[in-house]
Structure 1
Amino acid sequence: MTAILETPRPFPQAANSTTPILSLRNVTRTYGDGEGTITALHPATLDVRPGELVAVNGPSGSGKSTFLSIAGALLRPTSGQVVIAGQDVTALPQGALPAFRLKHLGFVLQSSNLIPYLTVREQLTLVPHLAGRNSREAARQADELLRTLGLLDRARHFPDALSGGQRQRVAIARALMNDPALILADEPTASLDGTRGREVVQMLAREVHERGKAAVMVTHDERVLDLCDRVVRIVDGRLSG
């Protein structure tokens, strides 16, 4: 049965909703050199502001994964500039990127990537533990998120006791634990049926709007695009819309 979600508490919006949290300027990515050069991403420019869920839609092999890896400071662009939460990440040394991602980014992956031997609550508290935060405060925050997402009664369950939709909701909660400015979702509905997929994207959109986050979701799932604030297309490494 679908969990009945409790009415979430209101969260403050970002102070300046006109300033993009994610800004890409003429970003490209190529592989190889000379005649063997392959362009995975042609010059791409995109701004994503607080309270906005943007879908990047395109077929398999269109460059979505390359785009998301660059937007998430996992892959350096060949040229162009990527600014996240006011920081030009293309100017950061490689060694500084893991700490930056931990502080400012939240990731939701195609498969929820939950750790099988951790309970739902432990999945969430692992993130602040890695960041060296107070464990009691982390537990309180985890329970608040689980309550908001209708999962508090699953807090002591292990991933194999959850449905696919519940696992993805846990993944969204985990992505929010470090209070990231930017959430990046990689095909979060790929392993879900239509009903569960819409539930997950509705939940992601609600959290983005109420918490004043920015989010980018790459997807080829046309069934959930109406839930997004904006849809851009990517075909053969070319971003449009």
Structure 2
Amino acid sequence: MTFQATQTHPQAHVQPSSPALALTQVSKTYGDGDGLITALHPTSLRVQPGELVAVNGPSGSGKSTFLSIAGALLRPTDGTVEISGVDVTRLRESDLPAFRLRHLGFVLQSSNLIPFLTVREQLTLVPRLAGQQDRNVRERADELLARLGLTERAGKYPDALSGGQRQRVAVARALMNDPDLILADEPTASLDSSRGREVVQMLAQAVHERGKAAVMVTHDERVLDLCDRVVTIVDGHLTE
């Protein structure tokens, strides 16, 4: 399956040879003085295209802070975040939404599907938000749904889907704009062992076949063997 390449952000030229994600001495603190809380201690991590990296750790360990910074949703207190060679910590706040739409795909814990849109519409909305008026948008959506075994569900609404099907739609939606980097936040948390493994297998297959990079934060050790690399975060400290 082929997609047309998305246009890079006007203020940032992507360097194809760069890691898909590069965190360099990134940290996040809140408050000041005696009330200072460190949510993430200085952290460096590189994720290459074609690699699925799991960030494993217990609740409250800093996984959500890490993922929000990696996804350009939260600015770090110190350090730099580069996505495909673009230092997103230097982009203006007003430029970040368009950058995320073009270069990032998100898979969230609860799938976050829009209840009044069909499965196909969940996907076609993404390129339209990014300003793409491509006539092939529906075709691309249907190709993705076919690959993930969702063709028969294309015209259904989220409340007619199982939990596993909703997460598969979320994976398809994350891939719709052919992003450089996919970020998954506890994608198996609401699924049983079989369905959770199925979703991560699909994510891993998409990463490897399409040469994308993905980071998945999880405390689900049942799916870690499907990942290329596992890093651990405890009390805001990331270790490999």
Give yes or no for TM over 0.5: yes
- CA contact 1:10–1:210 (8 Å) conserved in 2: no
Question: TM-score scaled to structure 2, two decimals?
Answer: 0.93
Question: After superposition, what is the alpha-carbon deviation per residue over 1:163-204, rounded to whole angstroms, capped at 9, x for unaligned?
Answer: 100000000000011110000000000000000000000000
Residues 21-60 of structure 1: pairs in structure 2 closer than 5 A: 21-60=20-59
Task: Tell me the CA shift for residue 10 of structure 1.
Answer: 8.4
2:165 and 2:120 map into 1 onto residues whose CA distance is 13
Query: Could you say which residue in structure 2 is the equivalent of 1:126?
Result: 125
1:142 and 1:51 map into 2 onto residues whose CA distance is 22
Query: Could you say which residue in structure 2 is the equivalent of 1:93?
Result: 92
Question: After superposition, what is the alpha-carbon deviation per residue over 1:187-233, rounded to whole angstroms, capped at 9, x for unaligned?
Answer: 00000000000000000000000011000000000000000000000
Q: For the aligned residues, what is the CA RMSD?
A: 1.4
Q: Which amino acid aligns with 1:205?
A: A
Query: Could you say which residue in structure 2 is the equivalent of 1:240?
Result: 239
1:228 and 1:19 map into 2 onto residues whose CA distance is 21
Residues 179-198 of structure 1: pairs in structure 2 closer than 5 A: 179-198=178-197
- CA contact 1:44–1:239 (8 Å) conserved in 2: yes
2:123 and 2:91 map into 1 onto residues whose CA distance is 28
- CA contact 1:125–1:135 (8 Å) conserved in 2: no
- CA contact 2:18–2:84 (8 Å) conserved in 1: no
Q: Which amino acid aligns with 1:57?
A: N
Query: Could you say which residue in structure 2 is the equivalent of 1:177?
Result: 176
Query: Could you say which residue in structure 1 is the equivalent of 2:200?
Result: 201
Task: Tell me the CA shift for residue 19 of structure 1.
Answer: 3.2
Task: Tell me the CA shift for residue 17 of structure 1.
Answer: 8.5
Task: Tell me the CA shift for residue 136 of structure 1.
Answer: 2.6
Residues 126-145 of structure 1: pairs in structure 2 closer than 5 A: 126-145=125-144
Query: Could you say which residue in structure 2 is the equivalent of 1:76?
Result: 75
Question: After superposition, what is the alpha-carbon deviation per residue over 1:29-61, rounded to whole angstroms, capped at 9, x for unaligned?
Answer: 000011110000000000000000000000000
Larger displacement relative to structure 2 (52-61 or 144-153): 144-153
2:166 and 2:200 map into 1 onto residues whose CA distance is 13
Q: Which amino acid aligns with 1:180?
A: P
5+ residue gaps in structure 1? 1-8
2:215 and 2:98 map into 1 onto residues whose CA distance is 20
Matched, 1:219 2:224: no
1:101 and 1:65 map into 2 onto residues whose CA distance is 17
1:137 and 1:43 map into 2 onto residues whose CA distance is 44
Larger displacement relative to structure 2 (17-26 or 63-72): 17-26
Number of residue pairs aligned between Structure 1 and Structure 2: 229
SS in 2 for 1:59: coil
Residues 151-162 of structure 1: pairs in structure 2 closer than 5 A: 151-162=150-161
Pair 1:239–1:81, CA change in 2 (3 A): same
SS in 2 for 1:208: helix
Q: Which amino acid aligns with 1:142?
A: A
Task: Tell me the CA shift for residue 129 of structure 1.
Answer: 1.1
Pair 1:85–1:17, CA change in 2 (3 A): closer
Matched, 1:109 2:111: no
Q: Which amino acid aligns with 1:164?
A: G
Question: TM-score scaled to structure 1, two decimals?
Answer: 0.92
Q: Which amino acid aligns with 2:204?
A: A
2:114 and 2:94 map into 1 onto residues whose CA distance is 25
1:50 and 1:19 map into 2 onto residues whose CA distance is 9
2:68 and 2:96 map into 1 onto residues whose CA distance is 13
SS in 1 for 2:41: strand
SS in 1 for 2:127: helix
2:124 and 2:52 map into 1 onto residues whose CA distance is 25
5+ residue gaps in structure 2? 4-14
1:239 and 1:17 map into 2 onto residues whose CA distance is 27
